[in-house]
Amino acid sequence: MKAAYTGPLERVNEYCWRIPRSYKQGMRVDGLIYVSDALVEQVRQDQAPEQVANVATLPGIQVASLAMPDIHWGYGFTIGGVCATDPQEGGVISPGGVGYDINCGVRLVRSNLFENDVRPHLDTLVDALFRRVPSGIGRSGKYHFDARELRRLMLEGVPYLQGRGLASEADIAHTEAEGRLEGAEPERVSERALQRGADQCGTLGAGNHFLEVQVIDEIFDANAAAVMGLEEGMVCVMIHSGSRGLGYQVCDDALKKLRGVPEKYGIELPDRQLACAPVLSPEGADYLGAMRSAANYAWCNRQLLMHLARETFAEVFGRPWEALQMSLVYDVAHNIAKFEDHRINGGHKKVWVHRKGATRAFPPGHPETPSLYKKIGQPVLIPGDMGRASWVLVGQPGSMEQTFGTTCHGAGRVMSRHQAVREAKGRRIDEELAERGVVARARSWRGLAEEQPDAYKDVNLVVDVVDRAGLSKKVARMRPVGVIKG
């Protein structure tokens, strides 16, 4: 159990608290945590606020070290942490600000099926998804790529899969960054990472990753929902996964290479887990080229998982997925660093925005918002736990004004995995979920125990914060009815 945070938290407003720059030697900016009175005591339960203060010491950091309401302790950066660094001011890139699962993210697929169409076939559907979608630690899938193909996939992203008949133009258009970060350099990815990724593209993984069949149970913004093709009672599929063993290895390799690098550049860090390098350095370039490659791999992974889900629905309901209108609403990353233009101190700057367990939330009219969503803002996908709800929101202007175009990424844990397993001893989590109308399948009892609903904050409270703070706006709430876990 991590020690509770005992440092200062000063109220800025109803949904924002400050850790003042004076709190810790070396802080260059304040820390700001977006959280409500209902959640603030949970924030104090571990050292995540201390990590917010630590990030404020990074060279080149702009405006503030930020955290979203799903904040909890992570490696180096808190989960829910956000910071922007200016390379022209010695700004650094830090693998801890991206995370081990590079471009872990979420995608949402709509359909023309409604709950009354699916409920009679739900057990059959969930069993079929469990058979077809590889899940669990180290599991390989039906898609295999040799080293040459893998390098092309990491360079080109989802457009590479389009050439193999596994992605459409609409899929690409509705994926963040169109499923490809420019500047990927697969040659910077180690052979070990390539080996780990060769047969894992199109696999779900374990931990908090999932594939859920969900039902939209309430619409909050009818116009935005209509633009996305969402209706009350509609069945959707949400997929949460990342870059699997390849991304983990890229991060692990980078952290080993960065040992001693901060000292080389005269950078003092309060925590070795914040290992970093100036963006404009050979070491910074090496990580960025590999990180972008892993990010492209992750988008391809979620694309292939969606393809498997579409095939399964077609098999169970006896119609092609196109006839079921299983179109991609959007795909968002939430473990990534991107070079973006932001208004800072009255002028425009290009900065590296680290989002570690945090989601982009660009507002209406933003040039990177897909054309279909220009008038409503970029879709934001916030998964909760497998017993309560998940959310669709849209980005708002307040995100650009306050958080470098960012909002929360999920509910946020309140129990460690070990604690969750202890709490579940003697219980059948699958039966508890069944009582809530949720059919759950997992590779192990432990997988469900670690991810039980009580292990997470109430996502509805988390979403209330970002909605009322003007970072993103509620559009629709979904409740899970079928869950696939590793």
Q: Does position 1 have pLDDT exceeding 60, yes or no?
A: no
Contact residues for 57 (Cβ-Cβ < 8 A; gap 6+): 24, 26, 27, 28, 268, 269, 270, 274
* Residue 300 or 141, more confident: 300
Q: Does position 2 have pLDDT exceeding 80, yes or no?
A: no
Other beta carbons within 10 angstroms of residue 319's beta carbon come to 14
Cβ pair 467, 398 in contact under 8 A? no
For position 137, what pLDDT does the model report? 82
Per-residue pLDDT tens digits for 44-83: 999 999 999 999 999 999 999 999 999 999 999 999 999 9
Q: Span 454-480, mean pLDDT?
A: 97
Paired tokens of 65: 């070290």
Ordered domains of the chain (ranges, CATH) = 10-89+103-485 (3.90.1860.10)
In angstroms, the CA 12 to CA 17 distance is: 5
Record the pTM: 0.97
What's the burial of 367, exposed, middle or buried (CB within 10 Å: 0-12/13-18/19+)?
exposed
Per-residue pLDDT tens digits for 163-194: 999 999 999 999 999 999 999 999 999 999 99
CA dihedral 370, 376, 380, 384 (to 10 degrees): -150
Paired tokens of 434: 């069944």
Q: Does position 431 have pLDDT exceeding 70, yes or no?
A: yes
What's the burial of 419, exposed, middle or buried (CB within 10 Å: 0-12/13-18/19+)?
middle
Per-residue pLDDT tens digits for 223-233: 999 999 999 99
Paired tokens of 444: 């192990």
Q: How far apart are the first and last CA of the chain?
A: 25
In angstroms, the CA 466 to CA 271 distance is: 29
Provide the annotated active-site residues: 409
For position 139, what pLDDT does the model report? 73
Cβ pair 482, 125 in contact under 8 A? yes
311 phi, psi to nearest 5 deg: -60, -40
In angstroms, the CA 129 to CA 268 distance is: 49
In angstroms, the CA 258 to CA 436 distance is: 47
Per-residue pLDDT tens digits for 276-294: 999 999 999 999 999 999 9
Question: What percent of the chain is predicted at pLDDT more than 90?
Answer: 96
Cβ pair 231, 237 in contact under 8 A? no
179: left (phi over 0), alpha (psi -120 to 50) or beta: left
In angstroms, the CA 394 to CA 374 distance is: 11
Q: Which of 126-140, 145-159, 255-269 has the lowest mean pLDDT?
A: 126-140
For position 372, what pLDDT does the model report? 97
Cβ pair 338, 353 in contact under 8 A? yes
